[in-house]
Homo-oligomer: A and B are copies of this chain.
Amino acid sequence: MMPHVVIVGGGFGGLAVARRLRRAPVRITLIDKRNFHLFQPLLYQVATGGLGPAEIAAPLRSLFRKQRNVRVLCAEVVDINPQTRALTLHDGQVIDWDYLVIAAGAAYHYFGHEEWAQHAPGLKTIEDAEAIRRRVLSALEAAERETDPERRQAWLNFVIVGGGPTGVELAGALAELVHVTVRDEYRAYDPRTARVVLLEGAPRLLTAYPEPLSENARRSLQQLGVEVVTGAHVEQVAPGRVVYKRGEEVYEFAAQVVLWAAGVCAVPLAQVLAERTGAPTDRLGRVIVEPDLSVPNHRRIFVIGDMAHYAHQTGAPLPGVAPVAMQQGQYVAQRILNELQGKPTPPFRYWDKGDMAVIGRKAAVARIGRLRLTGWFAWLIWLFVHLMFLVGFENRLLVLIQWAWNYFTRNRRARLITGEPYTPSLSADSLPDRYSVSCSKE
């Protein structure tokens, strides 16, 4: 029987492994909790009503319909046994493997305050994006019905915690949504009085990028009306309010909608793997892998993507971005192929093509090798790169039409409050006693 390669996770990393092995003499089983691949870099567009979920997702079975050596299983892996080379699924089924590739991604963490999650949703899944969309749009609706000015303003204050690429993109899109798209749609208030506040703990935004790009991102966001507060450490997230510290000063801000784009950590499966294999993990729960991306002492178990801590190249772990996951997936596939053919494989090396983040409707910052780009041209490149990587021809076409439409009309069609009946969460006691609305426009 042909060797069995089991891949856990249908994200960028898992897909890259399966595709690279399409002509290989192996059987592949791809296991994912969800039945679709999700293009996470565009999730913020779903959260702000610019795109629908199906436009940034593709059914896994559809992607592998013609690749007959792939079997897709829609299931959750609950245990891993390296001795017997077997996985256990949520329903008790046991799957044997010859090679195991784990690429199950990351989740948000709340710096030890997991109770904040209910008040400040993160942005990792379709459901997260729909929850954010629901909160944002419901707040605008509640403001239309609210007659007390102070309470209304609390519905119109939006806080985003975390100034990395996700926070920056979300803040830009949110500012456009509330200040531009819905400008003429409410009768009881002017949506331009809505405030979008981006809180970042570090002294600058986009800390992984060169400093001039951070400065440019800040200016572009401010032009969109985003209030950027750096050096702000969140101390409390509660219904209707955020408390943060800046230096010695403590600020309390009344806001009904708080969104989380701060810390990420590995999914719980990383912990299971570490316990079963004795693999070391870093403080974010990521598995510290060997130069060939395998788990120490388990040459046929690989961890790639956001779950892996790979620091052999530069000393610092590689960032949790799609290009890293894809290159690691291709590497592991090649590594398995070489081993089957008795050939050696040199250690993994990441080829860093650059980073980019988009800010609103026509600005972006990008680093491509040593090149730094900002503004409209960077935005065009961002658009091109993201369209090219969207899986499936039809999605690309639909997203392009949608974007063209959004760009020219400044409308956002997918502004639906769905998932649960509309029930505003505000009650008298959920508002803080005093409002020190003190985020300064810097």
Report which A residues bind B (CB closer than 8 A).
33-36, 52-55, 57-59, 61-62, 64-66, 71-76, 89-91, 93, 126-127, 130, 137-138, 141, 144-145, 182, 184-188, 392, 394-395, 397-398, 401-402, 405, 411, 413-424
**Residue of chain B at shortest CB distance from A35:** B417
Count identical subunits in the complex: 2
Knowing A395-B413, A398-B402, A413-B394 touch, does A145 contact B93 (C-beta < 8 A)? yes
- Cross-interface CB contact of A91 among B64, B138, B145, B413, cutoff 8 Å: B145
A7 CB to nearest B CB, Å: 15
Assess the A416–B53 pair: CB atoms within 8 A.
Answer: yes
Given A52-B55, A71-B188, 19 further pairs, Cβ under 8 A: A33-B421, A35-B415, A36-B416, A36-B417, A52-B54, A54-B414, A59-B413, A62-B185, A65-B184, A65-B185, A71-B187, A72-B185, A73-B145, A74-B141, A74-B422, A76-B422, A90-B423, A392-B413, A394-B405
Knowing A184-B66, A418-B127, A419-B419 touch, does A137 contact B413 (C-beta < 8 A)? no
- Listed by A's residue number, 26 A-B pairs whose Cβ atoms lie within 8 Å are A33-B421, A34-B416, A35-B415, A36-B416, A52-B54, A52-B55, A58-B413, A61-B186, A62-B185, A62-B411, A71-B188, A73-B145, A74-B138, A74-B141, A74-B145, A75-B422, A89-B145, A91-B145, A91-B424, A127-B418, A127-B419, A394-B411, A395-B413, A398-B401, A401-B401, A419-B419
